[in-house]
Amino acid sequence: MATFLTVLTRVGEERFSAGVAHDIENRTDFVVVLEKQLDQTRTERKAHEAAISVLAEKEEALKRLILIEIKASSATASNGATLPLALEFRAEHAPHDEPQSLSDIILDALEGTRGMTLGEIVHYARRRGYSFDDKMPGRVVHFGLVGLKQAGKVTRSDDGVWARTMT
């Protein structure tokens, strides 16, 4: 953008210093050219504004989709192979700068959901970068859930879905 303005200014200065700017006919032609460029620039700006409007609508649609996915989190496959889109996003974009305890990761996974199966929670913990070392992830998470249940922070339904308690 700055280059275009620099060139345009330089062309104007050259025309003026050459005495062309004093010639009414050439000066009028130059103004016509500038007005055409101004019209083209306005048209281009309107196209960009329309594109920005489309992107804003897309952004809002994605926000609504994330909310739908969070609400539908208990409807995922019980084998834990995948997480709802919003939970995948949360797991991928959670801050990894300081290690979190497994309990914190479990509570974060269950936040805002109707509940998750053991497999889904294991998958979430893996996506968050939790290291199970050589331990069996399902057993580790299960014992973490049992501890949280004893502390009154989570509950388990008859169908094996774990959820945060209402506090």
Same domain flag for 87 and 115: yes
Same domain flag for 101 and 151: yes
pLDDT surpassing 80 at residue 142:
yes
User: pLDDT value at position 58?
Assistant: 87
Spatial separation of the C-alpha atoms in residues 152 and 167, rounded to whole Å: 9
Same domain flag for 87 and 52: no
Between residues 98 and 111, the one the model is more confident about: 111
Q: Which range marks the domain in which residue 54 is found?
A: 2-70
Between residues 59 and 94, the one the model is more confident about: 59
Last residue of one domain, picked from the residues 45, 70, 95: 70
User: pLDDT value at position 8?
Assistant: 59
Highest mean pLDDT among 3-12, 23-32, 104-113: 104-113
Same domain flag for 94 and 157: yes
Same domain flag for 118 and 142: yes
Same domain flag for 95 and 66: no
**Sequence-distant (≥ 6) Cβ neighbours of residue 148 within 8 angstroms:** 103, 106, 107, 154
Same domain flag for 87 and 116: yes
Same domain flag for 111 and 34: no
Spatial separation of the C-alpha atoms in residues 122 and 139, rounded to whole Å: 9
Q: What is the pLDDT of residues 145-157, one digit of tens each?
A: 999 999 999 999 9
Contact between 162 and 154 under an 8 Å Cβ cutoff? The reply is: yes
Instruction: Check residue 33 and give left, alpha or beta (phi > 0: left; psi -120 to 50: alpha).
Output: alpha
Q: What is the pLDDT of residues 12-52, one digit of tens each?
A: 666 555 554 455 556 677 788 888 899 999 999 999 999 99
